[in-house]
Structure 1
Amino acid sequence: MFSDKNIIGLDIGSESIKIVEIAHHEGQKELLTYGIAKHTVPLDGYWDSNRLRKLSTIIEDILDTGNFKGVKTVMGIQSKDVYVATMDFEEGWDKEAIQIEIDKQSSYFLPYPPDEMRLSWNLINDDARIVTYTGKQRVIVNALPDFVIENSKNLLEHLNLDGAALENQTRSQIRSTLEPDTDKTILVDIGDKYTTLSIIVDGTLRSSMHINFGVQKIEQDLAVSLGIDGESAHNFKKDLGLVNLYQISPQIMDTLKILKNEMTTFVDLNKKIAQDPNKIVITGGAVHTPGLYEYFRDFQVPVFIANPLRNIAVSQALLPYVAPAGNQLSTAIGLALRSDI
């Protein structure tokens, strides 16, 4: 029997689909079931009927195999498809002046034409240091392409699921990996093909940047270094876990060096605008990459591996299976943790 107290979190990544179901009851939240499946469906642009059908088939198989009961669904949006940034304006400007300036500048900073995106913004008024350091007022700008909204709507209709909300996957990861922590934190999500670096202040996403490599690149490096195929490299990474720093292959070291340089740049940029982070938390499918944690031990800001299960109850029967996949599920868990729907 369907339960409207259960929330399904649907996360469609570049190469895999992750779904979880969480029961919400009297303030308690419990993971009921989950499922993960690979896919090869291109996700760029508008999804035609063929792509929608392929995605629906995979998702329906996960729902059936995992014995999902709910229908109310929160669907994630890939961070690379969402524009999030901060902008500073003169302290004396009113909201109308800010809106006019954002409209004027939007064609320069948005990834798609402004008339093809839904744009919103809000003032940050909870951090007095912004005015002290910069003499300006700061706003958070959010923009979402129309095609993302249309794709999500069409897919949920194919699945006969109740689409309760769409959400930027980074906001979902904040809910699963950081709350109730309100420290200034950089959240690093190493996804299938993309890595996203986000600055979180007082639990709120301020801005993100994206790097064009992810788990796929790391597994390719591992396959080359060991002389094995991609599937074997994927399983090897999962089974091996963390190793001594001196055992990391040169190929993986080169990839991690790129990530380290990007993290350094992102930290320095945020320090310049009074958003200096206290720590970095890494999530996503690459957290078990051999040597990942050791490589970042000497980073200028403390680095931690996320625990997406921190805010939910998990049965002893399910825990041994879901724990190793926890960071791969961090977005789906955060989506299903949403309670304001």
Structure 2
Amino acid sequence: MLFKNKRVLGIDLGSSSIKVAEIDVGRRVSTLQNFSLVPTPPMATSGGDITDPGLLSEAVRQAINELGTKVKNAAVGLWGSSVIVKRISIPKMEESLIPEQIRWEAEQYIPYDINEVNLDYKILNLASGQADTMEILLIAAIQEVVYTVSDVVTGAGVTCSLLDVEGFALANCFEANYGVLQGQVVGLINVGSSVSNFVIVESGEVVFSRDIPIGGLIYTNEIAKSLDVSMAEAEGMKLGLSSGQAVPEEVSSIIENTHEVIIEEISGIIEFFHNTSSAQISKLYFTGGGSSTVGFKNAINQLLPSERLDPFLSIGVNPKVFSSEYVKQVRNFCSIAVGLGLRTLGDS
């Protein structure tokens, strides 16, 4: 939403892996035509932040080259503390007057110099409950991060035509597969490696978006710390438990205890939303590599009824390119890239 520059590459710059999706967006059916996933170089990011743009660019270039695509425009997501999304109420006014009002509101709500952020907004169609006010989703992104992300993509040989909030991309993927659930409020969770995205959608509109600075890496960290092993060994134990391999018996209890840390974060956000909104979340949909950790579904079910988000429930997959086994392997990792790839040039 933050920049406008018909198909684009959806690029998810994850701290564990880079995902690129190319989607043929049709009026009735959209189809995944290309997808690549390459490891993110360890020194390219730290804690979800980009630390070596050049190194990250080379990895993105590799991912794009694997596609063999001719598409040269990209949609990329912003995440973490670099982007703030806040729902606000403002007096009803002519749409032409909203940008000036938004800038004033941003100065009250955004904890950064207003001249150092890119501002955007979305008018919510939901009733505000008051005839003289309107509901707005205020979006602010730190310019320095915007430029860095854009440079990473440009350095990989494509044009950064669209910048979106990763949470919005997640919601875009959800709507493309599940449709607009009128009258329903659902929570969407993408558990990444270092950062997790949490979005609340009401009757098809994003009404809340927040990123949590923890993800699947927290399990690896806890195993490494508790068993005094390397991160590589800890990651192997985590994945080994998920695939049924023999691992030290302590690994299972460490993971169970770590579930509580993530669930507590999610629970806090849900409680905040319920305390500040008349709407109530009825169901959670989860995705992301971190959500594949053994026991995650049972843990999150303690909060609300939940199910795994299927990015290919309604979106088709080119059978000439992808085997059903490959789709099964990448299903948990591609929702953000798919949501971005569903965008087209000229989107706002």
Q: Smaller-chain TM-score range?
A: 0.7 to 0.9
Identical-residue share of aligned pairs (%): 20
Matched residue, 1:119: 119
1:143 aligned onto 2:140: yes
State the Cα deviation string for residues 284-307 of structure 1 (Å, max 9, x = none). Answer: 2111101111122332x2122111
Matched residue, 1:321: 326
Are the aligned partners of 2:17 and 2:37 in contact in 1 as well (CA < 8 Å)?
A: no
Query: Per the alignment, in what secondary structure is the counterpart of residue 131 of structure 1?
Result: coil
State the Cα deviation string for residues 7-43 of structure 1 (Å, max 9, x = none). Answer: 3111112343211222345644322232222222137
Matched residue, 1:292: 296
Cα offset for 1:241? 3.8
Matched residue, 2:3: none
Unaligned runs of 5+ in 1: none
Are the aligned partners of 2:89 and 2:135 in contact in 1 as well (CA < 8 Å)?
A: yes
Query: Per the alignment, in what secondary structure is the counterpart of residue 75 of structure 2?
Result: strand
Matched residue, 2:84: 83
Alpha-carbon spacing, 1:46–1:16, altered in 2? closer, same or farther (3 Å): closer
Q: TM-score, normalised by structure 2?
A: 0.80
Aligned pairs, number: 328
- Cα distance between partner residues in 2 of 1:186 and 1:162: 32
State the one-letter code of the partner of 1:59: V
Are the aligned partners of 1:123 and 1:139 in contact in 2 as well (CA < 8 Å)?
A: yes
- Which of these residues, 151, 160, 163, is aligned with residue 163 of structure 1? 160
Unaligned runs of 5+ in 2: 1-5
State the Cα deviation string for residues 147-169 of structure 1 (Å, max 9, x = none). Answer: 23322332333223133211111
- Cα distance between partner residues in 2 of 1:6 and 1:96: 30
Alignment of 1:197-216 (within 5 A): 197-216=198-217
Alignment of 1:89-104 (within 5 A): 89=90, 103-104=103-104
Are the aligned partners of 1:33 and 1:66 in contact in 2 as well (CA < 8 Å)?
A: yes
- Cα distance between partner residues in 2 of 1:167 and 1:327: 20
- Cα distance between partner residues in 2 of 1:72 and 1:92: 37
Higher deviation after alignment, 325-334 or 102-111:
102-111
Query: Per the alignment, in what secondary structure is the counterpart of residue 287 of structure 1?
Result: helix
Cα offset for 1:127? 2.6
State the one-letter code of the partner of 1:295: A
Matched residue, 1:7: 8
**Root-mean-square deviation (CA), in Å?**
3.4
- Cα distance between partner residues in 1 of 2:11 and 2:92: 43
Cα offset for 1:225? 6.2
Cα offset for 1:44? 9.0
Are the aligned partners of 2:7 and 2:343 in contact in 1 as well (CA < 8 Å)?
A: no
- Which of these residues, 303, 308, 311, is aligned with residue 305 of structure 1? 308
1:337 aligned onto 2:342: yes
Are the aligned partners of 2:7 and 2:344 in contact in 1 as well (CA < 8 Å)?
A: no
- Cα distance between partner residues in 2 of 1:95 and 1:315: 42
Matched residue, 2:129: 131
State the one-letter code of the partner of 2:39: A
State the Cα deviation string for residues 224-279 of structure 1 (Å, max 9, x = none). Answer: 56776433443554565488xx9973332332222222322322322231231121
Are the aligned partners of 2:197 and 2:211 in contact in 1 as well (CA < 8 Å)?
A: yes
State the one-letter code of the partner of 1:33: F
Are the aligned partners of 1:240 and 1:290 in contact in 2 as well (CA < 8 Å)?
A: yes
- Cα distance between partner residues in 2 of 1:329 and 1:232: 25
State the one-letter code of the partner of 2:190: D
- Cα distance between partner residues in 2 of 1:279 and 1:47: 33
Q: TM-score, normalised by structure 1?
A: 0.81
